[in-house]
Structure 1
Amino acid sequence: MSVPPPYPYQARAIAHGLKHARCGLFLEPGLGKTRISIEVVKQLPKPIIVLAPKRVIDHTWPSELAKWWPECRWLSLADGPDSRLINYGLDADMYLLNFEMFAKMFGKDGEHKWRYPTVIIDESHNVKNRDTFLFKALRYNAGKIRHLLELTGTPAPKSLEDLWAQVFLLDRGQRLGRTITAFRQRWFAPGAERYQRHMRPAAQDQIQSRISDICMSMTAAEYLDLPEFMTQDIVVDLPPKARIFYDKLKEDLVAKIGEEQITAMTAATLAGKLLQVTSGNVYNENHQSVHSNTAKLDALRDLQESLGDLSLLVSYQYQHELEALRKLGAVELRDAPDTVRRWNKGQIKMMAIYPSSGGVGLNLQDGGHHLVWTTPTYNLGHYIQTNARLHRTGQTRPVVVHRLVAAQTIDRHVYSALARKASVQEALMDALEVFVW
């Protein structure tokens, strides 16, 4: 069976990848960045190595290669040590490796010799932290890489600071500075609190202008005729005992934090504890549940009943949520190798997904069009990527994202924070194309 030609917008991205030996394709989920990158590297020196999250390596790349480059000889380096050693020694066009193993294999003290002229970093926002072993290992090998292609739909999930490490790997500091300190000093000003920084006037425009030649951006809304995307907030009231517990916990934590300087860490501790309460459970230092309520679980059960035979994808944050979902008949995405296939064939009526490990790179649009968030996340990348598992090319029905929101709690503040982060993200994408409450 012949492979259909790329869409015109994909052809533009392919041309960009071939024109620049080292470049970024910041394409929103659903635009086919995997297919685009495959078309690019077909014409580049072999062997190729693809770096990505484990689940993307195990599921997305094998299926996409089967569709768009069936004759490609590929091997996985993401399995056990014996298989990894054998496959490393075999000849292939492409090798697939998960982020977690990269430094062990190819870092400064790595086990193996580097021999890959062409590299794809899929979901490159995972290398935004220059202090990780992953970034250090990539920087160590940067001079040996002739062609580098970075792929992500969320290049700056938290702030434009997330761009520095990704762009550094492309140009060795030419555009945004050779160190993160120089980058921050030029475009950010210190805030009132420790570790807090604010963008200087015109910083966003200047940063975007500096990287626009090598980083191409496209948004799904401009190029895809996707079905409608709707968000429904299902507001739930905490039971009286849970409300008293929540208010007392908030008061005690704020008072405790108030005795010292507010930092991101202490604010995160407060937020995490309060989110545990609204999710249904809160734990002590020994990881024992000290309070529970079923407000959101009851709302989820009502939603499940109202959907009838329609399948429901559920994003959860805590283990106790997964345990409750299993009692409702849910299957977790990672339960079995064929879970994705069964979901897309309509054989699973409720599937649970953990955003940080399963919200990237998977095609789940054939299995359903309803997604529920039991507990909000501060991570914009996880939020966008998880929603995009359903709202992507091939989806034929309107996608509805249901968000369970506990009334008068931190839940609403988290979603407001996501909206503020999204405004920065959207500004970046558009430009590149032409604590205590």
Structure 2
Amino acid sequence: MRFNPYEYQRYAINHIIDNTAAGLFLDMGMGKTVSTLTAVDELIFLGEVSKVLVIAPLRVAEDTWSTEVQKWDHLKHLRISKILGNQKQRSIAVSMPADIYVTNRENVDWLVKQYFNNWPFDMCVIDELSSFKSSKAVRFRSLKKVRPYFKRIVGLTGTPAPNSLIDLWPQVYLLDGGKRLGKTITSYREQYFRAGRRNQYVVYNWELREGAEEAIHQKIGDICISMMAKDYLDLPERIDNEININLPENVVNRYKQLEKDLVLELGEDDITAANAAVLTNKLLQMSNGAIYSEDKNIIEIHEEKLKALLEIIEAANGKPVLIFYSFKHDLLRIIKYLKVNKLKAVELGGSDDIKKWNNGEIPILLVHPASAGHGLNLQYGGNIIVWFGLTWSLELYQQANARLHRQGQKESVIIHHLVSKGTVDEDVIKALASKEVNQNTLLEAVKARLNNIRG
């Protein structure tokens, strides 16, 4: 296929070529991969770089980069080696003659330990830079060690700071080695933030100082460019539909009892992000229809969401349906329930399933949002999404929806959200709608439930 870049893609390509450190904060579906590959091809041709390391989510590393190279005429000469699989397979892949070496982020630590003294790569592309937003993570610390060995580095993401601008420091550090936002996250916090809600020495959230957001954007503006799809692309209409599920009275009573027991057990003064997450996780399970017991057995509570899901599939009248589920028991129960109703649902596996879906060969596809968050092109296979279980992660939610709602989609995208009334589902859907999903939202939701119960 011939590549005729849009004007914004030309700008992105030139930005990578003109800057040894470049951040592309491009919205989903704007062609980050092909733009980056085009720039890389030019840099290799000019002799600027010779071995490019691409770090991506596993499924993207397995499929997306090699597929893009095969897709575009001007890139087909590029040689790709995938540093994936077991240790022997990875070692062989590193030694293979290639232009681009693609690996998943979980292999970064191994790669650095194995090849630190003879680092072979002179350029790095981090596909989904926001996955390096934790300065404490092993992957960040490992990549930081070899950062000086790269002549060039590119960071790609559509959501650089989905929760807080605190998340920006590690990402920008990998780009510029601390030139713009400081050498340490501590100095970054002290300069641009003040402690918000805290419990003695534990700070639960950091609040921006006055004028800090503008100052941060100005600091990184020379190497980071941000573009929103709505400003550049003629995207299909998106229709969000909330389907309220009325739970039977006995289920409501069981839910309230679990909620009461767990919330009161936490206690108002002891609620932290960790145990608030555990609480809402259990309540989300129950609102979906099942819950794990202490010994990991599945206890089924109700089938109301399954019934609503079946109605959506039947109303689709043969059109493909993409279902996002939250828990393993959701997946098992959905497959079993649909099978009883003579419908076959397929869990997303490898690249073969992606091709089959886009070819219209899979009528019902089940995907966990964490495994379809980045880089998967599913827009050719259907236009109907069902969120069987909701997620607190705004980043996962936005990225997952963008698998269908992106350039290349020919129809309006319909996104159904199954919301059990009177449950934590309602808190999540409100938070997602307001685009304010963060740790503080979670804590406040739990505190509100505690007050309701005690009131």
Alignment-mate amino acid for residue 288 of structure 2: S
Q: Do the aligned residues in 2 keep the contact of 1:41 with 1:118 (CA within 8 Å)?
A: no
- Per-residue deviation, residues 131-160 of structure 1 (Å, max 9, x unmatched): 111101110001001100000111112211
Alignment-mate amino acid for residue 24 of structure 1: G
Map of 2:240 onto structure 1: 231
Map of 1:188 onto structure 2: 193
Matches within 5 A, 1:281-292: 281-292=290-301
Shift in Å, 1:291: 4.7
- Per-residue deviation, residues 37-80 of structure 1 (Å, max 9, x unmatched): 01111122111111001100111111101123101011111133
Shift in Å, 1:215: 0.7
Q: Give me the whole-angstrom Cα distance separating, in 2, the residues matched to 1:272 and 1:126.
A: 22
- Across the aligned residues of Structure 1 and Structure 2, the Cα RMSD in angstroms comes to 1.7
Map of 2:160 onto structure 1: 155
Aligned residues: 424
Matches within 5 A, 1:198-347: 198-258=207-267, 260-327=269-336, 328=338, 329-334=344-349, 336-347=350-361
- Mark the CA change 1:354 to 1:207 in structure 2 (over 3 Å): closer, same or farther: same
Q: Give me the whole-angstrom Cα distance separating, in 2, the residues matched to 1:420 and 1:160.
A: 18
**SS of residue paired to 2:155:** strand
Alignment-mate amino acid for residue 249 of structure 2: P
TM-score with structure 2 setting the length = 0.90
Partner residue of 2:109 out of 83, 86, 103: 103
Q: Give me the whole-angstrom Cα distance separating, in 1, the residues matched to 2:115 and 2:287.
A: 44
**SS of residue paired to 1:43:** helix
Q: Give me the whole-angstrom Cα distance separating, in 1, the residues matched to 2:15 and 2:351.
A: 35
Q: Give me the whole-angstrom Cα distance separating, in 1, the residues matched to 2:80 and 2:116.
A: 21
Shift in Å, 1:337: 4.1
Map of 2:17 onto structure 1: 18
Map of 1:137 onto structure 2: 142
> For structure 2, which runs of at least 5 residues remain unmatched after alignment?
44-48, 339-343, 439-445, 449-455
Q: Give me the whole-angstrom Cα distance separating, in 1, the residues matched to 2:13 and 2:54.
A: 17
Map of 2:432 onto structure 1: 418
- Verify: 1:119 aligned to 2:120, yes or no: no
Map of 2:441 onto structure 1: none
Q: Do the aligned residues in 2 keep the contact of 1:267 with 1:436 (CA within 8 Å)?
A: no
Q: Give me the whole-angstrom Cα distance separating, in 2, the residues matched to 1:75 and 1:165.
A: 27
Partner residue of 1:90 out of 93, 96, 103: 96
Alignment-mate amino acid for residue 99 of structure 1: R
Partner residue of 1:170 out of 169, 175, 178: 175
- Per-residue deviation, residues 278-321 of structure 1 (Å, max 9, x unmatched): 11112222212345211111110111111111100000010111
Q: Give me the whole-angstrom Cα distance separating, in 1, the residues matched to 2:62 and 2:4.
A: 26
Q: Do the aligned residues in 2 keep the contact of 1:233 with 1:405 (CA within 8 Å)?
A: yes
Q: Give me the whole-angstrom Cα distance separating, in 2, the residues matched to 1:403 and 1:115.
A: 47
Q: Do the aligned residues in 1 keep the contact of 2:393 with 2:437 (CA within 8 Å)?
A: no
Map of 2:443 onto structure 1: none
> For structure 1, which runs of at least 5 residues remain unmatched after alignment?
425-434
- Mark the CA change 1:204 to 1:416 in structure 2 (over 3 Å): closer, same or farther: farther
**SS of residue paired to 2:118:** coil
Q: Give me the whole-angstrom Cα distance separating, in 2, the residues matched to 1:176 and 1:412.
A: 38
Q: Do the aligned residues in 1 keep the contact of 2:163 with 2:437 (CA within 8 Å)?
A: no
Shift in Å, 1:345: 0.7
Alignment-mate amino acid for residue 378 of structure 1: W
Alignment-mate amino acid for residue 64 of structure 2: T
- Verify: 1:31 aligned to 2:30, yes or no: yes
**SS of residue paired to 1:103:** helix
Q: Give me the whole-angstrom Cα distance separating, in 2, the residues matched to 1:228 and 1:13.
A: 26
Map of 2:378 onto structure 1: 364
Shift in Å, 1:360: 1.5
Map of 1:70 onto structure 2: 76
Shift in Å, 1:259: 6.0
Q: Give me the whole-angstrom Cα distance separating, in 2, the residues matched to 1:315 and 1:112.
A: 43
**SS of residue paired to 2:270:** coil
Shift in Å, 1:405: 0.6
Alignment-mate amino acid for residue 265 of structure 1: A
Q: Do the aligned residues in 2 keep the contact of 1:370 with 1:400 (CA within 8 Å)?
A: yes
**SS of residue paired to 1:436:** helix
